A and B are shown apart, each in its own frame.
Chain A
Amino acid sequence: MNRDDLPLVAFTLLVQLALGAVALAAMAPLRVPGAAGLVITLLGVAAAALVVASACSLLHLGVKAGALRALRNLRTSWLSREVLFTGLFTALTLAAAAGALARLPVADFLWLVTLTGFAAVFTMSRLYQETIHPAWTTLYTPVSFFAAALTLGAALGAPLVQTSGALAPGAAALLLRDIVLTGAAGVTAGLAATAVYAGDLQEGHLPLAARLLLTLGGLGLLTAGWYGPLPWLTPAGSFLLAAGELFGRVRFFAQGAA
């Protein structure tokens, strides 16, 4: 992989993590009572991830001072649209985090933030689909990007729920089950797309096996953490899931190299 693309690996993953976190923050209070603390933590992590993501996207530019000029061609450029929606998503997430911290009612507002995050990830995937790199122009790109949002959201949410003292044990177990199921949906969609994608590229079995090992291992540990009494299973599962997404994204950029 071209070293210049490393900021984009971080940028894409962090925006997708933020979408997963914000969506979880929007849904958690509907499922269980007493989730206000969890919502603040999720929004705080999402806001921090988006601030770091914005810095990463700047690092990729040759002329950082001209970054705002990237908004000039909204009519035809998916990159301009991605900059617009990611900027909106970042601003709204920061506002939601500040509002939640101030104990303001942000529940309805979070759905607008989630929608903006969805638009940010959609425009991001269209951007890569509109290139001339065969590895990026297929449906794999949007499927894997949204699957990463689900997977990373679950990887973040599970240990936070497990360690949240404010949730009643029954509520925490219910929320953890929802998160594990969401993660399983993300993993299934992501791996299904990866298998098709890897088959099209006729690449070797080793990278696919490594991705499967990390992601399925992570999901297994996360599921075991939901059932089992060992507290380290959930964070270990989250770590493996995140490592699987990172591995997959590095391969994505390596295969798109000119």
Chain B
Amino acid sequence: MATQLGFHVDMRKCTGCRTCSIACKDKNDLAPGQLFRRVLEIEGGSYGETGAGAVVPHVFAYYISIACNHCDQPRCVANCPTGALAKSPADGVVSIDQAVCIGCRYCTWSCPYGAPQYNPAAGRTNKCDLCAGLRAAGEEPACVTACPMRAIDWGPVSELRDRHGGTMALAALPDPGLTQPNGSYTPHRDAGRRLRP
């Protein structure tokens, strides 16, 4: 593969405003209920007693803006019965050929990140292709452009890692060993904490 593309999200900057989701929805003209980029609100923690009759909260919350991670071992591609899902040998982007998809929804059962989204009106599944059309026109993906905090970056994964570092091993996300995702996050300070004590 020439260059693997992906996203990077700086969770320290994300305020959970969901502008990225709306920009993606607008650009891709998505149906109600369909979101190629979602913002998850993660909450966790516990309460402790001071010993003097008071209760002190040890809680936390943070946001994870997530789209397709264009994995190295995409289960959606392996499981798709029609071959509609494919990983580009040129840039590693995983996309769905709408003319071939039959709407069996097996990809939605296969992706640990919930990237493929079924559209009942179209009878087909679709997903983030890293805004292929915009990229071809020399522009950035819609979510990157729209983020008011500049929390989302994109580009060749090797460059993103040099620029930001980052990890996919967050307590609220699936084990990256499952599909070897190509996204990465600069973690929020609480992103390593267990959601329940």
Instruction: Name A residues whose Cβ lies closer than 8 Å to a Cβ of B.
Output: 4, 60-63, 66-67, 69-73, 76-80, 83, 127, 130-133, 256, 258
Can you name the residue of chain B whose Cβ is closest to the Cβ of A133? Answer: B109
Interface of B is mostly: loop
How many residues does chain B have at the interface if contact means C-beta atoms less than 8 Å apart? 29
| A77 & B102 in contact (Cβ 8 Å cutoff) | no
- Inter-chain CA distance A54–B120, complex, in Å, is 21
Known A-B contacts A61-B102, A67-B102, A132-B174; A72 and B83 likewise in contact (beta carbons under 8 Å): yes
Subset of 17 A-B contacts with CB under 8 Å: A61-B104, A63-B101, A66-B102, A69-B82, A70-B82, A70-B102, A70-B104, A71-B81, A77-B79, A77-B80, A79-B104, A131-B109, A132-B111, A132-B174, A132-B178, A258-B108, A258-B114
Can you name the residue of chain A whose Cβ is closest to the Cβ of B111? Answer: A132
* B84 proximity list for chain A (CB < 8 A): 69
- Which residues in chain B, 75-116, are within 8 Å of chain A measured between CB atoms? 75, 78-84, 100-106, 108-112, 114
- B63 CB → nearest A CB, Å: 20
- A120 CB → nearest B CB, Å: 15
- A79 CB → nearest B CB, Å: 4
Can you name the residue of chain A whose Cβ is closest to the Cβ of B82? Answer: A69
Can you name the residue of chain A whose Cβ is closest to the Cβ of B100? Answer: A69
Of B78, B80, B81, B109, the contact of A132 (CB 8 Å cutoff): B109
Beyond A70-B81, A70-B102, A258-B114, 17 additional pairs, beta carbon < 8 A: A66-B82, A66-B100, A67-B102, A69-B84, A71-B81, A73-B83, A76-B78, A79-B79, A79-B104, A127-B106, A131-B79, A132-B75, A132-B110, A132-B112, A132-B178, A133-B109, A258-B108
* B55 proximity list for chain A (CB < 8 A): none
* A132 proximity list for chain B (CB < 8 A): 75, 109-112, 174, 178
| B81 & A83 in contact (Cβ 8 Å cutoff) | yes
* B104 proximity list for chain A (CB < 8 A): 60-62, 70, 79
Can you name the residue of chain B whose Cβ is closest to the Cβ of A65? Answer: B102
- Inter-chain CA distance A258–B108, complex, in Å, is 9
* A133 proximity list for chain B (CB < 8 A): 109
| B79 & A76 in contact (Cβ 8 Å cutoff) | yes
| B103 & A131 in contact (Cβ 8 Å cutoff) | no
| B174 & A130 in contact (Cβ 8 Å cutoff) | no
Of A62, A67, A76, A78, the contact of B118 (CB 8 Å cutoff): A62
Interface core residue of B81, B110, B120 (most chain A CB under 10 Å): B81
- A84 CB → nearest B CB, Å: 10
Instruction: Name B residues whose Cβ lies closer than 8 Å to a Cβ of A.
Output: 75, 78-84, 100-106, 108-112, 114, 118, 120, 122-125, 174, 178
- Inter-chain CA distance A78–B114, complex, in Å, is 20
- B61 CB → nearest A CB, Å: 23
A-B CB proximity, top 10 nearest: A62-B103, A62-B123, A66-B102, A131-B109, A79-B81, A70-B81, A80-B81, A69-B82, A76-B78, A63-B102
- Inter-chain CA distance A73–B85, complex, in Å, is 11
* B108 proximity list for chain A (CB < 8 A): 258
- A58 CB → nearest B CB, Å: 10
- A218 CB → nearest B CB, Å: 31
* B109 proximity list for chain A (CB < 8 A): 131-133, 256, 258
Known A-B contacts A62-B120, A63-B123; A77 and B103 likewise in contact (beta carbons under 8 Å): no
- Inter-chain CA distance A77–B78, complex, in Å, is 6
- Inter-chain CA distance A66–B101, complex, in Å, is 8
| A62 & B81 in contact (Cβ 8 Å cutoff) | no
- B143 CB → nearest A CB, Å: 22
* A83 proximity list for chain B (CB < 8 A): 81
| A130 & B81 in contact (Cβ 8 Å cutoff) | no
Interface core residue of A72, A77, A133 (most chain B CB under 10 Å): A77
- B47 CB → nearest A CB, Å: 23
Interface core residue of A62, A70, A76, A127 (most chain B CB under 10 Å): A62
- Inter-chain CA distance A127–B107, complex, in Å, is 11
- Inter-chain CA distance A83–B82, complex, in Å, is 11
* A79 proximity list for chain B (CB < 8 A): 79, 81, 104, 106
* B78 proximity list for chain A (CB < 8 A): 76-77
